[in-house]
Chain A
Amino acid sequence: MSALLEVDALSVGFRTRRGIVRALSEASVAIEPGELLLVVGESGSGKTVLAHTLLSLLPRNVDVAGSVRLGGTELLGLAPAALRELRARRMALIPQSPASSLNPVRTLGGQLIEGARARGLSEEQARRRLRALLGELGLDFDFIGGRYIHQLSGGMQQRIVNAMALVGEPDVVIADEPTSGLDSELVETTAAQLQEISARGASLLVITHDLRLAQRLAGWIALLYASRIVELGPTAAFFEAPAHPYGRELLRALPEREGKSIPGMAPELTALPGHCAFADRCPDRFDRCTEALPDLYPAPDGVLARCFVHAAR
Protein backbone atom coordinates (compact mmCIF):
# COMPACT_ATOMS: atom_id res chain seq x y z
CA MET A 1 0.00 0.00 0.00
CA SER A 2 1.25 3.45 -0.81
CA ALA A 3 1.98 5.99 1.88
CA LEU A 4 -1.21 7.53 3.11
CA LEU A 5 0.04 10.99 4.02
CA GLU A 6 2.81 12.35 1.84
CA VAL A 7 4.45 15.71 2.39
CA ASP A 8 6.81 16.70 -0.39
CA ALA A 9 9.22 19.67 -0.40
CA LEU A 10 6.85 21.72 1.74
CA SER A 11 7.93 25.32 2.34
CA VAL A 12 5.97 27.85 4.34
CA GLY A 13 6.79 31.55 4.68
CA PHE A 14 4.96 34.26 6.60
CA ARG A 15 4.98 37.82 5.28
CA THR A 16 5.55 40.07 8.31
CA ARG A 17 6.74 43.61 8.98
CA ARG A 18 10.22 42.22 9.60
CA GLY A 19 10.30 40.48 6.23
CA ILE A 20 9.55 36.90 5.27
CA VAL A 21 9.69 34.45 8.17
CA ARG A 22 10.69 31.08 6.70
CA ALA A 23 8.88 28.78 9.08
CA LEU A 24 9.37 25.58 7.10
CA SER A 25 11.83 24.85 4.28
CA GLU A 26 11.47 21.92 1.90
CA ALA A 27 10.17 19.41 4.39
CA SER A 28 9.44 15.93 3.04
CA VAL A 29 7.96 13.11 5.12
CA ALA A 30 5.56 10.24 4.55
CA ILE A 31 3.44 8.43 7.11
CA GLU A 32 1.97 5.00 6.39
CA PRO A 33 -1.30 3.86 8.00
CA GLY A 34 -0.66 2.72 11.58
CA GLU A 35 2.66 4.54 11.69
CA LEU A 36 3.65 7.13 14.25
CA LEU A 37 5.83 10.09 13.36
CA LEU A 38 7.20 12.40 16.03
CA VAL A 39 8.06 15.94 15.07
CA VAL A 40 10.57 17.28 17.56
CA GLY A 41 12.37 20.60 17.84
CA GLU A 42 12.57 23.79 19.86
CA SER A 43 9.88 26.47 19.80
CA GLY A 44 10.12 28.35 16.52
CA SER A 45 11.63 25.43 14.60
CA GLY A 46 8.52 24.89 12.47
CA LYS A 47 6.76 22.00 14.23
CA THR A 48 3.37 23.59 14.70
CA VAL A 49 3.49 25.24 11.27
CA LEU A 50 3.84 21.77 9.75
CA ALA A 51 0.73 20.56 11.60
CA HIS A 52 -1.23 23.67 10.72
CA THR A 53 -0.27 23.37 7.05
CA LEU A 54 -1.47 19.78 6.93
CA LEU A 55 -4.79 20.92 8.37
CA SER A 56 -4.90 24.11 6.25
CA LEU A 57 -5.18 26.24 9.37
CA LEU A 58 -2.71 28.89 8.27
CA PRO A 59 -3.43 32.62 8.36
CA ARG A 60 -3.67 34.71 5.19
CA ASN A 61 -0.20 36.28 5.21
CA VAL A 62 1.37 33.01 4.19
CA ASP A 63 3.06 31.58 1.12
CA VAL A 64 3.03 27.79 0.76
CA ALA A 65 4.96 25.77 -1.80
CA GLY A 66 5.31 22.02 -2.24
CA SER A 67 2.74 19.31 -1.89
CA VAL A 68 0.65 17.55 0.77
CA ARG A 69 -1.23 14.47 -0.44
CA LEU A 70 -3.70 12.42 1.54
CA GLY A 71 -4.41 9.08 -0.15
CA GLY A 72 -3.32 10.63 -3.44
CA THR A 73 -5.47 13.78 -3.15
CA GLU A 74 -3.55 17.03 -3.19
CA LEU A 75 -4.61 19.18 -0.20
CA LEU A 76 -2.82 22.40 -1.06
CA GLY A 77 -5.04 24.60 -3.19
CA LEU A 78 -8.10 22.38 -2.79
CA ALA A 79 -11.44 24.24 -2.95
CA PRO A 80 -12.62 25.26 0.56
CA ALA A 81 -15.75 23.09 0.52
CA ALA A 82 -13.87 19.98 -0.61
CA LEU A 83 -11.14 20.70 1.91
CA ARG A 84 -13.61 21.05 4.77
CA GLU A 85 -15.28 17.80 3.78
CA LEU A 86 -11.99 15.93 3.56
CA ARG A 87 -10.71 17.38 6.82
CA ALA A 88 -13.92 16.51 8.65
CA ARG A 89 -14.05 12.93 7.37
CA ARG A 90 -10.41 11.92 7.30
CA MET A 91 -8.32 14.10 9.62
CA ALA A 92 -8.44 14.99 13.30
CA LEU A 93 -6.51 17.26 15.63
CA ILE A 94 -5.86 16.55 19.28
CA PRO A 95 -5.40 20.09 20.59
CA GLN A 96 -2.68 21.25 22.92
CA SER A 97 -4.89 22.00 25.89
CA PRO A 98 -8.07 19.92 26.31
CA ALA A 99 -9.56 22.23 28.92
CA SER A 100 -9.32 25.35 26.77
CA SER A 101 -10.31 23.73 23.48
CA LEU A 102 -13.81 22.89 24.65
CA ASN A 103 -16.56 25.36 25.45
CA PRO A 104 -16.57 25.95 29.23
CA VAL A 105 -20.21 27.04 29.44
CA ARG A 106 -21.75 24.09 27.55
CA THR A 107 -22.12 20.55 28.79
CA LEU A 108 -19.94 17.96 27.12
CA GLY A 109 -22.71 15.77 25.67
CA GLY A 110 -23.91 18.44 23.24
CA GLN A 111 -20.39 19.38 22.20
CA LEU A 112 -19.35 15.78 21.58
CA ILE A 113 -22.41 15.07 19.46
CA GLU A 114 -22.00 18.33 17.55
CA GLY A 115 -18.39 17.38 16.78
CA ALA A 116 -19.42 13.92 15.60
CA ARG A 117 -22.21 15.30 13.41
CA ALA A 118 -19.76 17.67 11.75
CA ARG A 119 -17.95 14.50 10.70
CA GLY A 120 -21.04 13.32 8.89
CA LEU A 121 -22.59 11.01 11.49
CA SER A 122 -26.29 11.01 12.28
CA GLU A 123 -27.33 11.87 15.85
CA GLU A 124 -28.07 8.21 16.51
CA GLN A 125 -24.74 6.99 15.08
CA ALA A 126 -22.93 9.72 16.98
CA ARG A 127 -24.41 8.63 20.30
CA ARG A 128 -23.68 4.99 19.63
CA ARG A 129 -20.11 5.56 18.58
CA LEU A 130 -19.34 8.00 21.39
CA ARG A 131 -20.79 5.59 23.93
CA ALA A 132 -18.55 2.81 22.60
CA LEU A 133 -15.42 5.00 22.33
CA LEU A 134 -15.75 6.55 25.77
CA GLY A 135 -16.54 3.11 27.17
CA GLU A 136 -13.24 1.81 25.79
CA LEU A 137 -11.50 4.70 27.51
CA GLY A 138 -13.24 3.87 30.78
CA LEU A 139 -15.76 6.72 30.72
CA ASP A 140 -19.55 6.60 30.73
CA PHE A 141 -21.20 8.80 28.08
CA ASP A 142 -24.30 9.45 30.20
CA PHE A 143 -22.17 10.51 33.16
CA ILE A 144 -19.90 12.72 31.02
CA GLY A 145 -22.69 14.13 28.87
CA GLY A 146 -24.28 16.28 31.58
CA ARG A 147 -21.02 17.70 32.88
CA TYR A 148 -18.83 20.67 32.10
CA ILE A 149 -15.18 20.33 31.14
CA HIS A 150 -13.91 21.88 34.40
CA GLN A 151 -15.70 19.23 36.42
CA LEU A 152 -13.43 16.51 35.05
CA SER A 153 -9.88 15.65 36.03
CA GLY A 154 -6.98 16.29 33.65
CA GLY A 155 -6.82 12.63 32.63
CA MET A 156 -10.54 12.54 31.86
CA GLN A 157 -10.29 15.77 29.84
CA GLN A 158 -7.52 14.24 27.77
CA ARG A 159 -9.65 11.16 27.09
CA ILE A 160 -12.59 13.35 26.01
CA VAL A 161 -10.56 15.14 23.32
CA ASN A 162 -9.08 11.81 22.22
CA ALA A 163 -12.57 10.35 21.84
CA MET A 164 -13.65 13.45 19.94
CA ALA A 165 -10.70 13.06 17.56
CA LEU A 166 -11.43 9.37 16.96
CA VAL A 167 -15.18 9.56 16.52
CA GLY A 168 -15.05 10.09 12.76
CA GLU A 169 -12.56 7.22 12.36
CA PRO A 170 -9.97 9.52 10.79
CA ASP A 171 -7.08 8.33 8.64
CA VAL A 172 -4.74 10.94 10.05
CA VAL A 173 -4.54 12.14 13.65
CA ILE A 174 -2.35 15.10 14.57
CA ALA A 175 -1.52 15.70 18.24
CA ASP A 176 -0.04 19.12 19.01
CA GLU A 177 2.07 19.10 22.21
CA PRO A 178 -0.30 16.58 23.83
CA THR A 179 1.57 16.55 27.14
CA SER A 180 2.80 20.09 27.68
CA GLY A 181 2.15 21.12 31.27
CA LEU A 182 0.91 17.70 32.38
CA ASP A 183 2.36 15.88 35.38
CA SER A 184 4.22 12.63 34.89
CA GLU A 185 1.24 10.42 35.60
CA LEU A 186 -0.91 12.17 32.99
CA VAL A 187 1.96 12.03 30.50
CA GLU A 188 1.97 8.26 30.95
CA THR A 189 -1.80 8.02 30.43
CA THR A 190 -1.63 10.22 27.33
CA ALA A 191 1.25 8.24 25.86
CA ALA A 192 -0.67 4.99 26.27
CA GLN A 193 -3.71 6.52 24.57
CA LEU A 194 -1.65 7.82 21.65
CA GLN A 195 -0.17 4.36 21.11
CA GLU A 196 -3.68 2.94 21.15
CA ILE A 197 -4.73 5.44 18.44
CA SER A 198 -1.81 4.40 16.30
CA ALA A 199 -2.59 0.71 16.85
CA ARG A 200 -6.09 1.31 15.42
CA GLY A 201 -4.44 1.95 12.06
CA ALA A 202 -4.52 5.75 11.88
CA SER A 203 -1.42 7.66 10.77
CA LEU A 204 -0.37 9.58 13.86
CA LEU A 205 1.70 12.72 13.84
CA VAL A 206 2.82 13.85 17.30
CA ILE A 207 4.34 17.28 17.74
CA THR A 208 6.32 17.65 20.91
CA HIS A 209 9.35 19.17 22.56
CA ASP A 210 9.24 16.48 25.25
CA LEU A 211 12.10 14.10 24.45
CA ARG A 212 11.07 11.60 27.11
CA LEU A 213 7.60 11.32 25.57
CA ALA A 214 9.27 10.84 22.18
CA GLN A 215 11.41 8.02 23.50
CA ARG A 216 8.39 6.39 25.13
CA LEU A 217 6.27 6.56 21.94
CA ALA A 218 9.02 5.25 19.61
CA GLY A 219 8.00 5.00 15.94
CA TRP A 220 9.75 7.50 13.66
CA ILE A 221 11.22 10.86 14.47
CA ALA A 222 11.77 14.02 12.45
CA LEU A 223 14.05 16.52 14.18
CA LEU A 224 13.55 20.12 13.08
CA TYR A 225 16.08 22.91 13.41
CA ALA A 226 15.59 26.43 12.04
CA SER A 227 12.77 25.39 9.67
CA ARG A 228 14.48 22.30 8.20
CA ILE A 229 14.32 18.60 8.98
CA VAL A 230 17.87 17.84 10.09
CA GLU A 231 17.39 14.20 11.06
CA LEU A 232 14.78 11.64 10.05
CA GLY A 233 14.79 8.04 11.15
CA PRO A 234 13.65 5.41 13.65
CA THR A 235 13.20 6.96 17.11
CA ALA A 236 15.14 4.14 18.78
CA ALA A 237 18.17 4.86 16.58
CA PHE A 238 17.96 8.57 17.41
CA PHE A 239 18.07 7.96 21.15
CA GLU A 240 20.80 5.35 20.73
CA ALA A 241 23.11 7.59 18.70
CA PRO A 242 21.83 10.72 16.98
CA ALA A 243 23.29 11.18 13.51
CA HIS A 244 23.13 14.99 13.50
CA PRO A 245 25.27 17.06 15.90
CA TYR A 246 22.18 19.08 16.92
CA GLY A 247 20.41 15.88 17.98
CA ARG A 248 23.46 14.78 19.94
CA GLU A 249 23.81 18.14 21.72
CA LEU A 250 20.07 18.23 22.42
CA LEU A 251 20.17 14.85 24.15
CA ARG A 252 23.14 16.02 26.22
CA ALA A 253 20.97 18.87 27.52
CA LEU A 254 18.59 16.40 29.21
CA PRO A 255 18.97 16.74 32.99
CA GLU A 256 19.51 12.98 33.37
CA ARG A 257 22.38 13.11 30.86
CA GLU A 258 24.54 16.23 31.32
CA GLY A 259 22.05 19.09 31.54
CA LYS A 260 24.38 21.16 29.39
CA SER A 261 22.87 23.78 27.08
CA ILE A 262 23.93 24.33 23.47
CA PRO A 263 25.74 27.69 23.35
CA GLY A 264 24.14 30.42 21.27
CA MET A 265 20.69 30.56 19.72
CA ALA A 266 19.05 29.32 16.54
CA PRO A 267 19.33 31.79 13.63
CA GLU A 268 16.49 34.20 12.91
CA LEU A 269 13.94 32.76 10.51
CA THR A 270 13.98 36.06 8.60
CA ALA A 271 17.70 35.74 7.89
CA LEU A 272 18.52 32.05 7.53
CA PRO A 273 22.09 31.49 6.35
CA GLY A 274 22.85 29.94 2.96
CA HIS A 275 24.98 27.32 4.73
CA CYS A 276 24.20 24.82 7.50
CA ALA A 277 21.98 26.68 10.03
CA PHE A 278 23.55 24.85 12.97
CA ALA A 279 27.16 25.54 11.90
CA ASP A 280 27.65 28.50 14.28
CA ARG A 281 26.81 26.36 17.32
CA CYS A 282 28.26 23.08 16.11
CA PRO A 283 31.32 21.64 17.89
CA ASP A 284 32.15 19.48 14.82
CA ARG A 285 32.12 22.35 12.30
CA PHE A 286 34.57 22.31 9.41
CA ASP A 287 35.12 24.65 6.45
CA ARG A 288 32.43 23.24 4.21
CA CYS A 289 29.73 23.76 6.88
CA THR A 290 29.88 27.54 6.49
CA GLU A 291 30.09 27.39 2.70
CA ALA A 292 27.19 25.25 1.55
CA LEU A 293 23.83 23.92 2.64
CA PRO A 294 23.93 20.17 3.36
CA ASP A 295 21.31 17.79 1.95
CA LEU A 296 19.80 14.93 3.90
CA TYR A 297 22.47 12.21 3.59
CA PRO A 298 22.08 8.53 4.53
CA ALA A 299 23.61 7.78 7.94
CA PRO A 300 23.81 4.37 9.69
CA ASP A 301 20.63 2.53 10.85
CA GLY A 302 18.39 3.84 8.08
CA VAL A 303 18.67 7.43 9.31
CA LEU A 304 18.86 10.53 7.12
CA ALA A 305 20.88 13.44 8.48
CA ARG A 306 21.46 16.94 7.15
CA CYS A 307 25.17 17.02 7.95
CA PHE A 308 28.29 16.93 5.77
CA VAL A 309 29.80 14.37 8.13
CA HIS A 310 27.59 11.79 6.39
CA ALA A 311 28.03 13.16 2.87
CA ALA A 312 30.89 10.83 1.99
CA ARG A 313 28.98 7.61 2.72
Chain B
Amino acid sequence: MLRAERISKSYRASGGHVVAVDGASLQLERGQRLGLVGPSGSGKSTLAQVMAMLLAPDDGSLTVDGDRIDVWGVHCRCELRHRVQLVFQSPRMAVDPRLRVGEAILEPLVASRLLAARDAECAVLLHDWATRVGLTYDLLERFPHEVSEGQLQRACLARALIVAPRYLICDELSSMLDVSTQAALLEAIAAIQAEQELGVLLITHDRVLADTWCGEVADIRELAARSGEGEADATQRHASARAAALSALVRGRQRRAMPP
Protein backbone atom coordinates (compact mmCIF):
# COMPACT_ATOMS: atom_id res chain seq x y z
CA MET B 1 0.00 0.00 0.00
CA LEU B 2 1.13 3.53 -0.81
CA ARG B 3 0.23 5.53 2.24
CA ALA B 4 0.50 9.30 2.69
CA GLU B 5 -0.34 10.51 6.18
CA ARG B 6 -1.03 14.09 7.24
CA ILE B 7 1.14 15.52 4.45
CA SER B 8 1.71 19.27 4.60
CA LYS B 9 3.66 21.32 2.11
CA SER B 10 4.02 25.06 1.74
CA TYR B 11 6.05 27.22 -0.59
CA ARG B 12 7.85 30.40 0.31
CA ALA B 13 6.24 33.45 -1.28
CA SER B 14 6.99 37.15 -1.12
CA GLY B 15 4.38 37.74 1.56
CA GLY B 16 5.15 34.67 3.70
CA HIS B 17 4.18 31.05 3.12
CA VAL B 18 1.68 29.67 0.67
CA VAL B 19 0.14 26.46 1.93
CA ALA B 20 -0.35 24.04 -0.97
CA VAL B 21 -1.27 20.89 0.96
CA ASP B 22 -2.46 21.04 4.51
CA GLY B 23 -2.47 17.76 6.42
CA ALA B 24 -3.81 15.52 3.64
CA SER B 25 -3.94 11.73 4.05
CA LEU B 26 -4.45 9.34 1.16
CA GLN B 27 -3.99 5.61 0.64
CA LEU B 28 -3.60 3.73 -2.60
CA GLU B 29 -3.84 -0.07 -2.64
CA ARG B 30 -2.23 -2.32 -5.22
CA GLY B 31 -4.64 -3.07 -8.04
CA GLN B 32 -6.88 -0.15 -7.04
CA ARG B 33 -8.09 2.66 -9.32
CA LEU B 34 -8.42 5.80 -7.25
CA GLY B 35 -9.50 9.15 -8.68
CA LEU B 36 -8.36 12.44 -7.12
CA VAL B 37 -10.35 15.54 -8.03
CA GLY B 38 -10.38 19.19 -6.95
CA PRO B 39 -10.14 22.66 -8.50
CA SER B 40 -6.93 24.19 -9.88
CA GLY B 41 -4.61 25.18 -7.09
CA SER B 42 -6.05 22.84 -4.47
CA GLY B 43 -2.73 21.00 -4.07
CA LYS B 44 -3.34 17.88 -6.17
CA SER B 45 -0.05 18.09 -8.06
CA THR B 46 1.96 18.88 -4.92
CA LEU B 47 0.50 15.83 -3.18
CA ALA B 48 1.24 13.73 -6.28
CA GLN B 49 4.88 14.82 -6.27
CA VAL B 50 5.23 14.04 -2.57
CA MET B 51 3.69 10.60 -3.11
CA ALA B 52 6.11 9.97 -5.99
CA MET B 53 9.01 10.87 -3.65
CA LEU B 54 10.04 13.80 -5.81
CA LEU B 55 9.22 16.51 -3.31
CA ALA B 56 9.91 16.46 0.44
CA PRO B 57 6.88 17.44 2.53
CA ASP B 58 7.22 19.86 5.44
CA ASP B 59 5.36 17.47 7.64
CA GLY B 60 3.71 14.06 7.52
CA SER B 61 4.92 10.64 6.45
CA LEU B 62 4.93 8.45 3.36
CA THR B 63 5.26 4.69 3.39
CA VAL B 64 5.49 2.40 0.39
CA ASP B 65 4.52 -1.18 1.20
CA GLY B 66 5.68 -0.59 4.77
CA ASP B 67 8.97 1.14 3.89
CA ARG B 68 9.02 4.63 5.30
CA ILE B 69 10.49 7.33 3.06
CA ASP B 70 13.00 9.61 4.81
CA VAL B 71 15.00 11.02 1.90
CA TRP B 72 13.46 12.55 -1.19
CA GLY B 73 14.20 13.35 -4.80
CA VAL B 74 17.49 12.14 -6.29
CA HIS B 75 18.77 11.08 -2.87
CA CYS B 76 15.97 8.58 -2.42
CA ARG B 77 17.04 5.07 -3.33
CA CYS B 78 16.09 4.08 -6.89
CA GLU B 79 14.63 0.84 -5.68
CA LEU B 80 12.07 2.76 -3.61
CA ARG B 81 11.48 5.44 -6.23
CA HIS B 82 10.82 2.86 -8.90
CA ARG B 83 7.87 1.56 -6.92
CA VAL B 84 5.93 4.77 -7.59
CA GLN B 85 5.98 6.44 -10.99
CA LEU B 86 4.39 9.69 -12.11
CA VAL B 87 3.08 10.71 -15.54
CA PHE B 88 2.80 14.46 -16.01
CA GLN B 89 0.19 16.57 -17.78
CA SER B 90 2.40 18.01 -20.50
CA PRO B 91 4.56 15.39 -22.23
CA ARG B 92 6.56 18.04 -24.08
CA MET B 93 7.81 19.42 -20.80
CA ALA B 94 8.35 15.99 -19.28
CA VAL B 95 10.98 14.65 -21.68
CA ASP B 96 14.38 15.94 -22.71
CA PRO B 97 13.92 17.44 -26.21
CA ARG B 98 17.41 16.21 -27.17
CA LEU B 99 16.60 12.54 -26.58
CA ARG B 100 14.93 10.43 -29.22
CA VAL B 101 11.57 8.99 -28.17
CA GLY B 102 13.07 5.52 -27.72
CA GLU B 103 15.94 6.91 -25.62
CA ALA B 104 13.45 8.82 -23.50
CA ILE B 105 11.52 5.63 -22.77
CA LEU B 106 14.74 3.86 -21.71
CA GLU B 107 16.14 6.82 -19.78
CA PRO B 108 14.85 5.75 -16.33
CA LEU B 109 16.50 2.32 -16.68
CA VAL B 110 19.76 3.71 -17.98
CA ALA B 111 19.90 6.59 -15.48
CA SER B 112 19.41 4.22 -12.56
CA ARG B 113 22.13 1.95 -14.04
CA LEU B 114 19.80 -1.03 -14.16
CA LEU B 115 20.75 -1.53 -17.79
CA ALA B 116 23.18 0.01 -20.24
CA ALA B 117 21.63 1.52 -23.34
CA ARG B 118 23.38 -0.93 -25.68
CA ASP B 119 22.23 -4.06 -23.82
CA ALA B 120 20.20 -6.42 -25.93
CA GLU B 121 17.66 -6.52 -23.15
CA CYS B 122 17.02 -2.80 -23.64
CA ALA B 123 15.93 -3.30 -27.23
CA VAL B 124 13.58 -6.09 -26.20
CA LEU B 125 12.04 -4.07 -23.38
CA LEU B 126 11.72 -1.00 -25.58
CA HIS B 127 9.84 -2.82 -28.30
CA ASP B 128 7.67 -4.61 -25.80
CA TRP B 129 6.60 -1.37 -24.08
CA ALA B 130 6.20 0.53 -27.33
CA THR B 131 3.72 -2.14 -28.46
CA ARG B 132 1.81 -2.09 -25.19
CA VAL B 133 1.23 1.67 -25.32
CA GLY B 134 0.45 1.57 -29.04
CA LEU B 135 3.58 3.23 -30.50
CA THR B 136 4.95 2.06 -33.84
CA TYR B 137 8.69 1.34 -33.95
CA ASP B 138 9.54 4.07 -36.47
CA LEU B 139 8.35 6.68 -33.94
CA LEU B 140 11.05 5.56 -31.48
CA GLU B 141 13.73 7.02 -33.75
CA ARG B 142 12.13 10.47 -33.82
CA PHE B 143 12.72 13.48 -31.60
CA PRO B 144 9.87 14.68 -29.36
CA HIS B 145 9.06 17.64 -31.63
CA GLU B 146 8.57 15.23 -34.54
CA VAL B 147 5.72 13.29 -32.93
CA SER B 148 2.26 14.40 -31.84
CA GLU B 149 1.31 15.26 -28.27
CA GLY B 150 -0.69 12.04 -27.97
CA GLN B 151 2.18 9.90 -29.25
CA LEU B 152 4.57 11.57 -26.83
CA GLN B 153 2.23 10.98 -23.91
CA ARG B 154 2.11 7.29 -24.86
CA ALA B 155 5.93 7.34 -24.67
CA CYS B 156 5.77 8.99 -21.24
CA LEU B 157 3.46 6.24 -20.05
CA ALA B 158 5.88 3.58 -21.35
CA ARG B 159 8.75 5.41 -19.65
CA ALA B 160 6.94 5.31 -16.32
CA LEU B 161 5.97 1.65 -16.62
CA ILE B 162 9.32 0.31 -17.88
CA VAL B 163 10.78 0.30 -14.35
CA ALA B 164 7.91 -2.01 -13.26
CA PRO B 165 6.32 0.26 -10.66
CA ARG B 166 3.77 -0.99 -8.14
CA TYR B 167 1.91 2.32 -8.18
CA LEU B 168 1.27 4.76 -11.02
CA ILE B 169 0.21 8.37 -10.49
CA CYS B 170 -1.27 10.12 -13.52
CA ASP B 171 -1.37 13.89 -13.03
CA GLU B 172 -3.85 15.19 -15.64
CA LEU B 173 -2.67 12.48 -18.02
CA SER B 174 -5.05 13.42 -20.80
CA SER B 175 -6.25 17.00 -20.33
CA MET B 176 -4.27 18.09 -23.43
CA LEU B 177 -5.44 15.15 -25.55
CA ASP B 178 -8.48 14.20 -27.59
CA VAL B 179 -10.94 11.72 -26.11
CA SER B 180 -9.91 8.79 -28.30
CA THR B 181 -6.24 9.10 -27.29
CA GLN B 182 -7.37 9.45 -23.68
CA ALA B 183 -9.38 6.25 -23.97
CA ALA B 184 -6.42 4.47 -25.62
CA LEU B 185 -4.05 5.46 -22.79
CA LEU B 186 -6.53 4.33 -20.15
CA GLU B 187 -7.07 1.03 -21.98
CA ALA B 188 -3.29 0.45 -21.99
CA ILE B 189 -3.12 1.18 -18.25
CA ALA B 190 -6.08 -1.11 -17.56
CA ALA B 191 -4.41 -3.97 -19.47
CA ILE B 192 -1.18 -3.62 -17.47
CA GLN B 193 -3.13 -3.26 -14.26
CA ALA B 194 -4.92 -6.54 -14.86
CA GLU B 195 -1.58 -8.25 -15.32
CA GLN B 196 0.60 -6.62 -12.66
CA GLU B 197 -1.67 -5.47 -9.84
CA LEU B 198 -0.71 -1.87 -10.43
CA GLY B 199 -2.28 0.70 -8.13
CA VAL B 200 -3.38 3.75 -10.16
CA LEU B 201 -4.05 7.24 -8.84
CA LEU B 202 -5.78 9.30 -11.55
CA ILE B 203 -5.67 13.03 -10.88
CA THR B 204 -8.12 14.92 -13.08
CA HIS B 205 -10.40 17.94 -13.44
CA ASP B 206 -12.84 15.71 -15.23
CA ARG B 207 -15.30 14.44 -12.68
CA VAL B 208 -17.13 12.32 -15.27
CA LEU B 209 -13.90 10.56 -16.22
CA ALA B 210 -13.01 9.94 -12.55
CA ASP B 211 -16.49 8.56 -11.80
CA THR B 212 -16.56 6.24 -14.80
CA TRP B 213 -12.97 4.94 -14.79
CA CYS B 214 -12.10 4.79 -11.09
CA GLY B 215 -13.49 2.48 -8.47
CA GLU B 216 -13.28 5.22 -5.89
CA VAL B 217 -12.96 9.00 -6.09
CA ALA B 218 -11.49 11.31 -3.46
CA ASP B 219 -11.84 15.10 -3.40
CA ILE B 220 -8.65 16.75 -2.18
CA ARG B 221 -10.65 19.34 -0.28
CA GLU B 222 -11.97 16.56 1.91
CA LEU B 223 -8.57 14.96 2.56
CA ALA B 224 -7.08 17.88 4.42
CA ALA B 225 -7.36 17.98 8.17
CA ARG B 226 -7.61 21.74 8.36
CA SER B 227 -9.00 22.91 5.04
CA GLY B 228 -11.76 25.46 4.61
CA GLU B 229 -10.49 28.01 2.13
CA GLY B 230 -12.65 29.07 -0.78
CA GLU B 231 -11.95 28.00 -4.36
CA ALA B 232 -11.07 31.48 -5.58
CA ASP B 233 -8.41 31.55 -2.89
CA ALA B 234 -7.21 28.19 -4.06
CA THR B 235 -6.63 29.39 -7.62
CA GLN B 236 -4.89 32.44 -6.28
CA ARG B 237 -2.73 30.26 -4.05
CA HIS B 238 -1.80 28.17 -7.02
CA ALA B 239 -0.68 31.21 -8.99
CA SER B 240 1.20 32.60 -5.99
CA ALA B 241 2.90 29.26 -5.38
CA ARG B 242 4.09 29.18 -8.97
CA ALA B 243 5.40 32.72 -8.74
CA ALA B 244 7.15 31.85 -5.47
CA ALA B 245 8.78 28.78 -6.99
CA LEU B 246 9.89 30.83 -9.98
CA SER B 247 11.40 33.63 -7.92
CA ALA B 248 13.18 31.10 -5.68
CA LEU B 249 14.68 29.59 -8.82
CA VAL B 250 15.78 32.98 -10.13
CA ARG B 251 17.32 33.87 -6.76
CA GLY B 252 19.16 30.54 -6.72
CA ARG B 253 20.55 31.23 -10.18
CA GLN B 254 21.67 34.70 -9.15
CA ARG B 255 23.44 33.33 -6.11
CA ARG B 256 25.27 30.77 -8.18
CA ALA B 257 26.23 33.37 -10.73
CA MET B 258 27.75 35.68 -8.13
CA PRO B 259 31.54 35.57 -7.71
CA PRO B 260 32.73 33.91 -4.49
The answer to whether A and B belong to the same complex is yes
Chain B residues whose CB sits within 8 angstroms of the CB of A259 once the complex forms: 183, 186, 212-213
Q: Cα distance A185–B178 when bound, in Å?
A: 20
Q: Name the interface residues of B36-58: CB closer than 8 Å to any CB of A.
A: 39-41
Q: Decide if A181 touches B89 in the complex (CB within 8 Å).
A: yes
B interface residues with partner A (beta carbon < 8 Å): 39-41, 89, 134, 136, 146, 148-151, 172, 175-184, 186-187, 205-209, 212-213, 231-232, 235-236, 238-240, 242-243, 246
Nearest Cβ in chain B — how far from A1, in angstroms?
Answer: 35
Q: B235 contacts A155, CB within 8 Å?
A: yes
Interface size class of A (residues with CB under 8 A): 35 or more
Instruction: Give the residues in chain A near B242, CB-CB below 8 Å.
Output: 150
User: What is the bound-complex CA distance between A148 and B207, given in angstroms?
Assistant: 31
In whole angstroms, how far apart are the Cα atoms of A184 and B209 in the complex? 12
Given contacts A180-B176, A181-B175, A183-B39, contact A255 B213 (CB under 8 A): yes
A265 & B136 in contact (Cβ 8 Å cutoff): yes
Taking a contact as CB atoms under 8 Å apart, the answer to whether A260 and B183 are in contact is: yes
Evaluate contact between A182 and B150: CB separation under 8 angstroms: no
Q: Are A185 and B39 in contact (CB under 8 A)?
A: yes
Which residues of B have CB within 8 Å of A61? none
- Please tell me if A41 contacts chain B, counting CB pairs below 8 Å: yes
Cβ contact within 8 Å between B175 and A253: no
Residue A43 lies at the interface, judged by CB distance under 8 Å to chain B: yes
Q: How far is the CA of A260 from the CA of B182 in the complex (A)?
A: 9
Contact between chains at A209 and B134 (CB < 8 Å): no
Task: Work out how many contacts link A and B, with CB atoms closer than 8 A.
Answer: 106
**Interface of chain B: mostly helix, strand, loop or mixed:** helix
Contact A184 B205 (CB under 8 A): yes
Indicate with 1 or 0, residue by residue over A253-273, a CB within 8 angstroms of chain B CB atoms.
Answer: 111100111100100000000
Which 4 residue pairs are nearest across A and B when measured between Cβ atoms?
A261-B183, A261-B184, A44-B148, A42-B178
B183 contacts A256, CB within 8 Å?
A: no
Q: Do the beta carbons of B179 and A153 come within 8 Å of each other?
A: no
Flag whether A76 is at the interface (Cβ < 8 A). no
Q: List 17 A-B contacts (CB under 8 A).
A: A41-B178, A43-B177, A43-B178, A43-B181, A104-B243, A150-B240, A151-B243, A154-B41, A154-B239, A183-B39, A183-B205, A186-B40, A253-B178, A255-B213, A256-B212, A265-B134, A265-B136
User: Which of B182, B236, B239 has the largest count of A CB atoms less than 10 A from its CB?
Assistant: B239
**Chain A residue at minimum C-beta to C-beta distance from B135:** A265
Q: With A42-B150, A42-B180, A254-B179 as given contacts, are A261 and B187 in contact (CB-CB < 8 Å)?
A: yes
The residue in chain B whose Cβ has the minimal distance to the Cβ of A180 is B176
